[in-house]
A and B are shown apart, each in its own frame.
Chain A
């Protein structure tokens, strides 16, 4: 499993790194960036899903692979 930010949809709301700072960080425009390759283990799945839900532009997704 991994988290992904769709750059086409992201408009810099900044909710992902506010909700899940373990998984995302901000860049110099205030846009979210996935930390590392975005891989998540089971105990962070809930956090990743919350970050996805929090995004007003639905730019964050949890991929099942």
Chain B
């Protein structure tokens, strides 16, 4: 029997994360590259340990980690292990490739231009509530060929489910069940309507698959479920953090306005420092040694992407945004076979937000006295709100 004392007295939810994540991530990294937390979960905190798990999906099962999630449908593709996983990604990767995003970029750019124009003459905005929360859902609806009018309802369901779901095994709250049932119904109706009237969009292309490649309704539902619950609030988080760092760093912001080629590196650095998906779960399928520590078969494991991204071995300034180290690699979108399917889309969304925001509002800062906070504890991180103030162009001063 393992001595409980050997475990590190550590619970992620106890860390002070709301205002500044740096002390919390130092605590995690300081507990060791590989350690067992109070609840029995093994934590991989270094870049080497996380990358090892990414390279061995057969040992670190994603399917086993998601099987107890209480969802009666397969969460495709994250809850699928090799070899079936490849079958899904072969179909999905081309649908989320940069070339596909290029084909709808003009539309996506026009949408963010309109959102920014909605507050550009007002001199202030909430960059989370009026932008970061709205845009990812609009992009999802656009990609899936669904009406933008569904945006606010979809956001409400997703927020209700994400904000009231504990990561434990407790029974879901009634509000979650209600929102989940409503969203299931909505997705099923979208599938039914789209099947009768195929268009030039991702959902139509999935519905058009034939023979052995054809997806069942359960597979379609599971995929749509995963995208809406994991692919919207994470991008909300990333957009919010990007705007926060740019609002606080006038020098960096002005460099980006002067040289748009620096937007990409700046985005990478904020993604590295503030990954919205801070951890990803796995379960070991066999005994395995990671960085000299033996993890037994059947153990729940947490890959801590946030600390892997701040590994002092890899970065000269691990805790600061520094565009000169933007090419040194991070794991904000994971790695290995489960690399975030929407990573190309997320990066494009953030870039379009920065470019179009700066065209209309090149100078801005966080409202005086406001201290931005993330919702915590939470499975993914996003700012609750981000009030910005800025001069109104053309205004008489």
Contacts and interface: CB of A to CB of B under 8 A. Distances in A.
B264 A28 contact: no
Contact of B99 (A15, A30, A50, A58): A30
Interface residues of A, number: 22
A31 B93 contact: yes
Interface in A10-65: 11-15, 18-19, 26-31, 50-51, 53-58
Nearest to A55: B329
Contact of B55 (A28, A54, A57): A57
B93 A12 contact: yes
Nearest to A47: B327
Specify which of B334, B337, B339 lies most central, judged by the most chain A CB atoms within 10 Å of its CB.
Answer: B339
A11 to B, nearest CB: 4
B57 to A, nearest CB: 10
A56 B335 contact: yes
A5 to B, nearest CB: 15
B87 interface: no
Contacts of A26: 97-99
A50 B327 contact: yes
A59 to B, nearest CB: 10
Interface in B26-71: 51, 54-55
Specify which of A15, A18, A56, A57 lies most central, judged by the most chain B CB atoms within 10 Å of its CB.
Answer: A56
Interface string B84-106: 00000010011011110000000
B278 to A, nearest CB: 16
Given A12-B339, A13-B339, A56 B330 contact: yes
B335 A14 contact: no
A12 B334 CA distance: 11
Contacts of B329: 15, 53-56
Provide the main secondary structure of the chain A interface: loop
Contacts of A18: 264
Given A18-B264, A56-B331, A57-B54, A30 B344 contact: yes
Given A26-B99, A29-B94, A31-B93, A13 B327 contact: no
A10 B62 CA distance: 19
A55 to B, nearest CB: 6
Contacts of B296: none
B343 interface: yes
Contacts of B16: none
B96 A56 contact: no
Interface in B366-391: none
Contact of A11 (B94, B96, B337): B337
B185 to A, nearest CB: 32
B51 A30 contact: no
Given A29-B97, A57-B55, A58-B51, A11 B336 contact: yes
Contacts of B99: 26, 28, 30
A4 to B, nearest CB: 17
A41 B97 CA distance: 30
Contacts of A12: 93, 97, 339
Given A11-B339, A12-B339, A14-B343, A30 B96 contact: yes
A56 B98 contact: no
9 contacts: A9-B55, A14-B98, A14-B343, A14-B344, A15-B329, A26-B98, A30-B93, A30-B99, A56-B331
Interface of A: 9, 11-15, 18-19, 26-31, 50-51, 53-58
